[in-house]
Structure 1
């Protein structure tokens, strides 16, 4: 393993950077998009509820690779060329946001309905009540499952390897074929993934305890 890190350190570092960048971008946007559709699912406006349900059911039940390949292969045929990193990040964001939407929705439904009723009785609109009263409480309920989704997101970023996204998995495949040392190569790749996921896991646990 030491030889792999020594001989292919630049490739591993590049892959680590791409994986980390993709994960951070997808995490931020999937949380925003997922929360938005979770709110749509609980809004009194039927049209928004329908749109949210269609979005979640479609993208939650299509494999991540299919979504990614759509942006990598189909979109360039009709719209504009997209590189592997961008296609993978978009696919990962859309896919993860559907699961986050369901997670956040469950948190919203866990909040006592009296909280919303009390906010409305004090003159707040539905949107203001959701933003200032319900959502802060909902996120406290769903920190553990959100943490699991974030960790899954990092692991799912390996989909970039299928679209030449130059992530850790892609570089691992390149190194394994060049060095012919498959076992050591993928052990190194696994260690680098752990460097990302373990701190994230511990941070989410700390956040859960702090907000408990």
Structure 2
């Protein structure tokens, strides 16, 4: 007689929640780790790419922090009483989400940045007259800064949608109760809506952070010395493409899987508190 799914789960056979994928992933990671430990070529590649890890983490941290701040502002503008602010926020979200991140990266780095520099020079013209500021050149803005700005803009649209959904998930009765207590619109948002919305938006924001770690590899097209760029340069000079890109993938997997497991743990903890 075939045991029921519940019976198999109780005996440990075919338990649907057992993370076999994680076991397979751990085995794959162990294989690469052993290759790094015993193969001098892999150790050399890891040593070279370690500097790129710092750049990748720095780009991700700065871009995600900026995207959180800008996305929150866009989400609040989308909830504004002003029709102009609401439409401007919706226009921003739809345009940014409709453009590929790579295209946006090129556009901000090579099209928008010269315009921003020209605008800044026009605004700062009175300061240059009295010697308080010099003329800014496009080359003065590093490619790293341009890459971070592009990722901030790209992900702020997604963050804005996540925050908007989190705000709308707060029960309307709580907002009405806060209004009955005499709280202003800003006080309701600050003390009632946002604290509850944060619990809803944290897991999807964590998923966006994981996605940003991967998309940070796109900054390599600007010559930023992240993991991908360092790997590309080394592989082109040594012709060790298999070893180099295996280590590149290994490093990204370590970061993204660790973050993904953290997000899953956070989701379980938030569900347990409800």
TM-score (norm: length of structure 2): 0.72
| 1:103 is aligned to 2:174 | no
Q: Do the aligned residues in 2 keep the contact of 1:37 with 1:52 (CA within 8 Å)?
A: yes
The one-character-per-residue Cα deviations of 1:67-91 (angstroms, maximum 9, x if unpaired) are 2112322245442332221111111
| 1:66 is aligned to 2:103 | yes
Q: Do the aligned residues in 2 keep the contact of 1:108 with 1:134 (CA within 8 Å)?
A: yes
Aligned CA-pair RMSD:
1.7
The alignment partner of 1:123 has SS state of coil
- 1:67-146 superposed matches below 5 A: 67-78=104-115, 79=117, 80-81=138-139, 82-146=141-205
The alignment partner of 2:183 has SS state of coil
CA–CA distance in 2 between the matches of 1:116 and 1:107?
Answer: 14
The alignment partner of 1:142 has SS state of helix
Indicate the structure (1 or 2) with the bigger Cα radius of gyration.
Answer: 2
Q: Do the aligned residues in 2 keep the contact of 1:4 with 1:185 (CA within 8 Å)?
A: no
CA–CA distance in 1 between the matches of 2:41 and 2:217?
Answer: 20
Aligned partner (choices 165, 173, 196) of residue 255 of structure 2:
196
Deviation at 1:5, TM superposition (A): 3.9
Aligned partner (choices 35, 41, 48) of residue 11 of structure 1:
48
CA–CA distance in 2 between the matches of 1:139 and 1:156?
Answer: 24
The one-character-per-residue Cα deviations of 1:17-64 (angstroms, maximum 9, x if unpaired) are 100000011111111211221122122222221121111111111111
Aligned residues: 212
Judge which range, 196-205 or 19-28, deviates more: 196-205
The alignment partner of 1:209 has SS state of helix
Aligned partner (choices 29, 33, 39) of residue 66 of structure 2:
29
Q: Which runs of 5+ in 2 are unaligned?
A: 1-34, 118-137
CA–CA distance in 2 between the matches of 1:94 and 1:165?
Answer: 18
Q: Which runs of 5+ in 1 are unaligned?
A: none
CA–CA distance in 1 between the matches of 2:106 and 2:60?
Answer: 18
The alignment partner of 2:154 has SS state of helix
TM-score (norm: length of structure 1): 0.92
Q: Do the aligned residues in 1 keep the contact of 2:42 with 2:243 (CA within 8 Å)?
A: no
Deviation at 1:109, TM superposition (A): 1.1
| 1:179 is aligned to 2:216 | no
The alignment partner of 1:26 has SS state of helix
| 1:53 is aligned to 2:112 | no
Structure 1 residue aligned with 2:207: 148
Deviation at 1:14, TM superposition (A): 1.3
CA–CA distance in 2 between the matches of 1:104 and 1:69?
Answer: 27
